[in-house]
């Protein structure tokens, strides 16, 4: 059932197991409209699993997850509609290799949103311009650098006008010189007021953009703080230890 509450994501007591492995342990997380949340933590701590649950890609055994006012998993049609409010960007870009950049961006606009070719191309070109890559519209993903492909993936996600963008380590597969161009696009998106949850270990980005940093370890949220507190001396000891290993 839809409600008018302001939280775009509202997670209560979320638990998930892979067999005997408790991968999400009593997760509570609320993300308000316009919030920018950075999720970090060691490999295997459950960050991707959490993001996939929020995107409706993963099942869970206990707890509730409300996305854009809809409790996921109650009604299939409402769940699908809520999922369409999210844009997801993966570490591995996941562009369709056999489609041009433009077609990658227009595909869902035409098939899911029912736009005409002309409308879809106008919307796609506007977003490709926003991620500063309109000149590559007729290229194929394999002809682009990793950073360019990831910017296309961001544009593609934006085309469906999501209320929240979910990023899962969007720069960790990139060569160092390409990381900045992707982070710059994400920073600009935040500046435009986009609600976002970013799994990333780019702590410069977290400092600059995040208003909340969430630290996960072994399926639990261990620490949740403003960026200032998270990076300040008052941070949780476990987060500080983690920061020392990556900074
Ligand atoms: P992170 O993104 O923080 O590195 P993940 O969410 O990918 O962590 O994984 C959390 C834990 O769940 C890890 O121990 C991982 O091995 C396990 N896991 C992830 N996906 C599966 C799966 N499909 N089946 C079984 N175990 C999984
Ligand atoms: Mg992961």
Rounded to an integer, the average pLDDT of 39-61 is 94
Nearest ligand to the C-alpha atom of residue 92: 2
Ligand number nearest to the C-alpha of 216:
1
Residue having the nearest C-alpha atom to atom 20 of ligand 1: 49
Q: Is 47 in the pocket of ligand 1 (CB under 6 A)?
A: yes
Atom of ligand 1 nearest to the CA of 50: 6
Ligand nearest to the CA of 57: 1
Between 239 and 164, the higher pLDDT residue? 164
Enter the tokens of residue 143: 């002809």
The pLDDT value recorded for residue 150 is: 97
Nearest CA to ligand 1 atom 1: 44
| Average pLDDT score over residue span 9-24 | 96
| pLDDT band per the 50, 70, 90 thresholds, residue 4 | very low
Give the residue, 121 or 228, on which the prediction is more confident: 121
212 lines ligand 1 (CB under 6 A): no
**Average pLDDT over every residue of 13-18:** 97
Instruction: Determine the average pLDDT of the residues in 93-113.
Output: 95
What mean pLDDT comes out for the span 167-190? 96
Predicted complex ipTM: 0.98
Share of the chain above pLDDT 90, in %: 84
Calculate the average pLDDT of the chain: 93
CA distance 235 to 203: 14
pLDDT exceeds cutoff 70 at 220: yes
Residue in 17, 21, 47 to alter for ligand 1 test, most ligand atoms within 8 A of Cβ: 21
Residues in Cβ contact with 178 at an 8 Å cutoff, skipping those fewer than 6 apart:
145, 146, 147, 148, 150, 171
Residue 5 binned pLDDT confidence (cut-offs 50, 70, 90): low
Ligand 1, atom 18, residue with closest C-alpha:
18
* CB of residue 87 inside a 6 A radius of ligand 1: no
Please tell me the distance between residue 22's alpha carbon and the centre of ligand 2 in angstroms: 16
DSSP H stretches of helix in the chain: 47-54, 76-83, 101-111, 117-130, 146-159, 176-191, 203-209, 227-231, 237-246
Q: For residue 1, is pLDDT > 70? A: no
Proportion of the chain in helix, strand, coil states, percent, rounded to 5? 40, 25, 35
In the DSSP assignment, the letter for residue 72 is T
pTM: 0.94
Q: What is the mean pLDDT of residues 76-104?
A: 94
Identify the weakest region by mean pLDDT among 62-66, 71-75, 163-167, 190-194: 71-75
Lowest-confidence segment of 7-16, 51-60, 115-124, 139-148 by average pLDDT: 51-60
Could you give the CA distance from residue 28 to residue 19 in angstroms, rounded to a whole number? Answer: 22
Q: Cα–Cα distance between 155 and 151 in angstroms, integer?
A: 6
Ion ligand 2 contact residues with beta carbon within 5 A: 47-48
Ligand 1 proximity of 44 Cβ (cutoff 6 Å):
yes
């Amino acid at each position: 059932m839809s409600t008018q509450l302001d939280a775009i994501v509202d997670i209560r007591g979320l638990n998930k197991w892979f067999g005997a492995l408790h991968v999400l342990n009593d997760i509570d997380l609320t993300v308000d409209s316009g919030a920018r949340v950075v999720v970090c933590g060691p490999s295997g701590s459950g960050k991707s699993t959490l993001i996939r649950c929020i995107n409706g890609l993963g099942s869970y055994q206990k707890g509730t997850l409300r996305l854009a006012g809809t409790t996921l998993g109650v009604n299939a049609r409402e769940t699908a509609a809520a999922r369409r409010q999210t844009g997801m960007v993966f570490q591995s870009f996941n562009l369709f290799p056999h489609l041009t950049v433009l077609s990658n961006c227009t595909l869902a606009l035409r098939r899911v949103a029912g736009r005409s070719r002309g409308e879809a191309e106008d919307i796609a070109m506007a977003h490709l311009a926003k991620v500063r890559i309109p000149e590559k519209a007729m290229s194929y993903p394999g002809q682009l650098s990793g950073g360019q492909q990831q910017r296309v993936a961001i544009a593609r996600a934006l085309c469906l006008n999501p209320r929240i963008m979910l990023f899962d380590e969007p720069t960790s597969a990139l060569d160092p010189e390409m990381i900045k161009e992707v982070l710059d696009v994400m920073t600009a998106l935040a500046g435009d007021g986009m609600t976002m949850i970013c799994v990333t270990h780019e702590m410069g980005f977290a400092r600059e953009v995040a208003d909340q940093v969430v630290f996960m370890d072994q399926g639990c949220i261990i620490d949740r703080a403003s960026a200032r507190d998270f990076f300040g001396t008052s941070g949780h000891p476990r987060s500080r230890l983690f920061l020392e290993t990556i900074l």
